[in-house]
Homo-oligomer: A and B are copies of this chain.
Amino acid sequence: MTSNGTNGSAPAAHRFDPNFTQHVLDTMGPNVTPRHREVFGALIRHIHDFSREVELTIDEWMAGVQFVNAVGQIYSKTRNEAHRISDILGLESLVDEIAHTIVKDGQVDPTSSSILGPFWSPNAPFREPGSSIVQDGVPPNGRVAKMHGVIRNMMTGEPIPGAVFDFWQASSNGKYDFQDPDNQSPNNLRGKFRADENGVYTLYCLHPTAYSLPTDGPSFQLLTLLDRHPMRPAHIHIMVTHPDYMGCTTQLYPKDDPWLETDTVFAVKDDLIVDFQPLEGDDKATLELVYNVTLAPREYQGRK
């Protein structure tokens, strides 16, 4: 956080009107909140600096205008294109990092956060401990895994009974329930599980499958211009919460996925890479995943 309007760095030298940006900023009235003044001030400065730096042409600006209009036009209840564009540009991952930066103090760290993504649902039901989120039957190529672990206090190592483990994932066709109404019923591959008195959660899920972002629309146009692939590594989403702790929203990735290094939304972190193991003696699953979660107490002050 900076304390002055220039953010500590001199504006880049350029051959354009040196007063223009300040004039735009000065039209903000006296009733702007301090935070809005800070955020919009910085936004306007960066947009102007970007444009001068690359000497943005009128055609490029107009292409950008049309792009923004197109992003909103393709919006639907099941397609949040602006969210996806911000992911492709790394913005959601960066904002997630900013929100969750905890000053390291040499002790154990909490489980890393990662992006929420556009597919979390507030409506996922609570399910019985040890039950399966695979509600619609195992899909072709699907492999069932038993997943379990302990949710612990970062400072004391004590388990956190009653913590809520909210889990969601795409099916083996790469689609989430509400993207795939022909094949999946609502809340298929979603569910909330409450940790027991030992902080343990247990559920059955699918081994996740890598998938492509949609290959139509503005986000794919952008990826094409950037000569980038549209693939997300296989992943499962979890959101772990308890009233006394800072919640953790994150994603877990099988270690052998080929897209880990180049995840198109930049959401992979080292401690989120997991190792599914063969499982024997369980007639409901052929794989096992053990994953323990560490939460920081809400009163922890290392966080900004």
Q: Say whether A56 contacts B39, CB under 8 Å.
A: yes
Q: How many residues of A contact B (CB 8 A)?
A: 78
Answer whether residue A27 sits at the interface, using C-beta atoms and an 8 A cutoff.
yes
- Residues from chain B with a CB closer than 8 A to the CB of A279 are none
Is B56 in contact with A46, judged by CB distance below 8 angstroms? Answer: no
Instruction: For A95, give the chain B residue with the smallest CB separation.
Output: B61
Q: Which chain B positions have C-beta within 8 A of A73?
A: 72-73, 75
Q: Does the CB pair A69–B72 fall under 8 Å?
A: yes
A266 lies within 8 A of chain B by Cβ: yes
- Cβ of A300 under 8 Å from chain B: no
Please, which residues of chain B bring their CB within 8 A of the CB of A52? 94, 98
A24 touches B89 (CB 8 A): yes
Min CB distance A246 to B, Å, is 13
> Does A99 sit at the interface, judged by CB under 8 A?
yes
Q: Would you give the 0/1 interface string for A1-34, flagging 1 where the beta carbon is closer than 8 Å to chain B? A: 1100001110010011100110110011111100
Interface of A is mostly: helix
Contact present for A61 and B86 (CB under 8 Å): yes
Which residues on B sit within 8 Å (CB–CB) of A288?
Answer: none
Question: Whole-angstrom distance between the alpha carbons of A49 and B70 in the complex?
Answer: 25
> Is residue A48 within 8 Å, beta carbon to beta carbon, of the partner chain?
yes
Q: Are B28 and A227 in contact (CB under 8 A)?
A: yes
Q: Is A239 an interface residue (CB 8 A)?
A: no
Is A83 interfacial (CB 8 A cutoff)?
Answer: yes
A69 and B75 in contact, given A47-B91, A94-B52 (Cβ under 8 angstroms): yes
Q: Does A28 lie within 8 Å of B226, measured CB to CB? A: yes
- Closest CB in chain B relative to A77 CB, distance in Å: 11
Q: Which residues of B contact A38 (CB under 8 A)?
A: 54
**Separation in Å of the A54 CB from the closest CB of chain B?**
5
Contacts of A39 in B (CB 8 A): 54, 56, 60
> 5 tightest A-B contacts by CB?
A72-B72, A29-B227, A68-B82, A24-B90, A46-B50
